[in-house]
Amino acid sequence: MLDIKNLKASIDGTQILKGVNLSVKAGEVHAIMGPNGSGKSTLSAIIAGKEDYEVDEGSINFQGEDLLDLAPEERAHKGVFLSFQYPIEIPGISVSNFIKTSLAEKRKALGLDPLSPKDLLENMRQKMELLNIKKGYLSRNMNEGFSGGEKKRNEIFQMAMLEPTLSILDETDSGLDIDALKTVANGVNKLKTNNNATVVITHYQRLLDHIVPDFVHVLYDGKIVKSGNKELAFELEEKGYDWITKQF
């Protein structure tokens, strides 16, 4: 479903990604780990289409289409979802209004009729229950005054509502305590199907106890330097990143 070949990218003249290769098939969960500054967030930003970065070389293919040709909202309509490491506050727009608009735009792009208010509310209610989110939350302004944990849960709530094909979770677990982590992981797991895929970017092995990956990759200095299964994450945790960096 996602095919990244030799991706090289830079920002403000500094090269961050130096030839990333990654292949994700439907139904799979991939974890990407790596020390600070290795390029994890850069990779997710580029897949989502953030303009600050220059793609110098390489390609990203999503379901047979060249992703780099599309604007961020077009990629979203095709089914790409990024759970931001630092979710953005948008003053004046309520959570419900934002999701309603987001969903409506997606359906419009796909040529579908918008959901009836009744169906939309019912859908929201179900997903809120899944993620243990209280009723009053819908009328709050997007991420305004949210705690770190609430912001991350809001990301997963949007993911639940938009039902993407490819979800990239950028450090969704950073700063969450164990209970919040379990709720988020539970939500992500429930949304998994054989037709969608998840890329989990994390700094801590702890998350992978709850969202079990099929593949684990280590990103270091802009390249994926090692891949394995979930055992690799345990090794990393035990030995630390120095073990990897020393080899390269």
Rounded CA gap, 239 and 205, in Å? 12
Nearer to another protein, 34 or 87 (CB): 87
Nearer to another protein, 38 or 158 (CB): 158
Please say whether the beta carbons of 47 and 80 come within 8 A: yes
Of 45, 54, 40, 55, nearest to 84 (Cα)? Answer: 45
Rounded CA gap, 164 and 160, in Å? 8
Per DSSP, 198 falls in state E
Q: Which secondary-structure segment (H or E) carries 185?
A: helix 178-191
Nearer to another protein, 109 or 125 (CB): 109
CB of 245: closest distance to another protein in angstroms?
A: 17
CB of 94: closest distance to another protein in angstroms?
A: 8
Nearer to another protein, 205 or 213 (CB): 205
Per DSSP, 52 falls in state T
CB of 75: closest distance to another protein in angstroms?
A: 8
Write out the residues near another protein by the rule CB under 8 A. 36, 48-52, 54-55, 68-77, 80-82, 84-94, 97-98, 101-102, 105-106, 109, 141, 145, 147-148, 158, 162, 173-175, 177-178, 203-204, 206
CB of 236: closest distance to another protein in angstroms?
A: 13
Q: Provide the β-strand partners of residue 10.
A: 15, 54
